[in-house]
Amino acid sequence: MISTVFRAGGTAVFRVAFKDEDGNAVVPNTATWTLLRGGHVLNNRKDVSITPASVVDIVLSGDDLVGGTQHIVIEGVYDSSLGSGLPLRMWASFDVARPPAGA
């Protein structure tokens, strides 16, 4: 769980650093991300393509951030000394605070 609480309707940036099994930076062959809340895709954010790089920023804003616990799942494929086409999967859970009543 990410300790920062984001604000509903605001902006959140997730910096993703891809690493191989030895902790070395790696550029994935393919990578996507999906945004979930309560086990359901949020705001049509399913399998959003990531431009291949060893470090990328995923920006969520506006309707991407609603109140409650949300999850971002990153999936892809990479090559390393252990083989080609190895799957990668990582995720993070984070909370989004709703504005006070009347705001």
Is the predicted pLDDT of residue 15 greater than 90, yes or no? Answer: yes
Q: Is residue 103 part of a domain?
A: no
Q: Domain range for residue 39? A: 5-97
Q: Is residue 102 part of a domain?
A: no
SS3 50: coil
Report residue 103's pLDDT band, with 50, 70 and 90 as the boundaries: low
Q: pLDDT digits over 53-79, tens only?
A: 999 999 999 999 999 999 999 999 999
Domains: count for the chain: 1
Q: Is residue 55 part of a domain?
A: yes
Q: Is residue 48 part of a domain?
A: yes
Q: Is residue 14 part of a domain?
A: yes
For the purposes of burial, counting CB atoms within 10 Å of the CB of 67, is it exposed (0-12), middle (13-18) or buried (19 or more)?
A: middle
Residue type, 95: D
Report residue 2's pLDDT band, with 50, 70 and 90 as the boundaries: confident
**What is the distance between the alpha carbons of residues 6 and 70, in angstroms, rounded to a whole number?**
10
* Whole-structure pTM value: 0.91
Report residue 3's pLDDT band, with 50, 70 and 90 as the boundaries: confident
pLDDT at position 45 is: 98
Residue with tokens 């996507």: 32
CATH of the domain at 79: 2.60.40.1930
Q: Is residue 53 part of a domain?
A: yes
On average, the pLDDT of the chain sits at 94
Mean pLDDT of 12-30: 95
Is the predicted pLDDT of residue 102 greater than 70, yes or no? Answer: no
Q: Is residue 60 part of a domain?
A: yes
Q: Is residue 83 part of a domain?
A: yes
